[in-house]
Structure 1
């Protein structure tokens, strides 16, 4: 069925934004085949903007273009997930250390608000939990005051969003929340090295949970 398709600027940009949002929202889970003709018909556009959108998404790491087979939503390997989270641990550890030295009051208040929201959301509100968790981590990077570090961190957003397809229900788990609070309290107290260690430990703990979930998912599904 043809979808209502809003064109924000150009058809090319609209196709890209629509497909990107659909992938990150889980409408097209990892491994989903992305047929140009079917997508073009659904969006009410020609195949050219769809093809260009998929090439752009491939550059971001959200789509794989397989010779003679076409495109599919990228399926990350455990090794790739481990690499992403190790880089993220480095970024967030340094961000927490710098944030503890600066302690910007308005950002610390917003970080606390994000954690309070996570505590009040119902268990089934995975989308809202993911958003609040992401806001907490983004605020930590902003609190560092290092814009280059913040930009590097956000360069992982697309791949992290893809990984979250497997783990949306883990963002507000009791252990994750306890670790979030440990990071915030260390930052708030100006304990720079403690904050860095807490942030790294949180990311690496979450990495292990992601890897277990991913291994289970890969056992249940088969992608060629």
Structure 2
């Protein structure tokens, strides 16, 4: 295992690069090349890649090594279904906003704000396992969500509705979650096409 002072920044840098879509789906992640790019040894890179396999951001196939998991239309629909079900489950009668002062949204980017809102909604259930899965899905879909303001007819309005629902009623939160996922499901082909275009026409 790599020393923490080397492993942690390597892991964070690699994870952010994956979330920002630096490599297309299916791209091979070679530990030696990444180590050279990051200026570290191969050990922290391999350790980071293995950790990211557990988080669903990297695939590992015996004999083939590490790859970026492709995002197909079916996989996107599956992720949306799971995310919707988890957020509806989190929205119980006993739901409480996790912070006394309300949510703190990190950055102004649409994807970051949406991830923060979903994380708060999930954490309000008090179920840490559920909240962790919602966060993992947001990480997996981070780059794709940069397409949503362009593709979804009411993306920014829905985002504001989701954020407002954190201070509203259980019904408000439910309607916002349903509205968001319904629009995404209706635009899956367009979202996948947008993702391919952002990556220069390559694999998603």
Query: Could you tell me the TM-score, scaled by structure 1's length?
Result: 0.68
Count of equivalent residues: 199
**Which residue, out of 153, 157, 165, partners 2:131?**
153
Corresponding position of 1:52? 47
Answering whether residue 87 of structure 2 is matched by residue 92 of structure 1, we say yes
TM-align CA RMSD: 3.6
- The separation in 1 between residues aligned to 2:60 and 2:167, in whole angstroms, is 45
Structure 1: gaps (5+ residues):
1-6, 122-127
Whose radius of gyration is greater, 1 or 2? 1
Answering whether residue 76 of structure 2 is matched by residue 81 of structure 1, we say yes
Corresponding position of 2:178? 200
- The separation in 2 between residues aligned to 1:13 and 1:31, in whole angstroms, is 25
**Which residue, out of 175, 180, 183, partners 2:154?**
175
Q: CA deviation at 1:168?
A: 0.6
Corresponding position of 1:62? 57
The 4+ residue runs of structure 1 with deviation greater than 6 A are: none
Q: CA deviation at 1:62?
A: 0.9
Structure 2: gaps (5+ residues):
none
Secondary structure of the residue aligned to 2:187 is helix
More helix by share: 1
Q: CA deviation at 1:216?
A: 6.1
Contact kept in structure 1, 2:97 and 2:166, CA below 8 Å: yes
**Which residue, out of 113, 129, 133, partners 2:110?**
129
- 1:70 and 1:179, CA in 2 relative to 1: closer, same or farther beyond 3 A? same
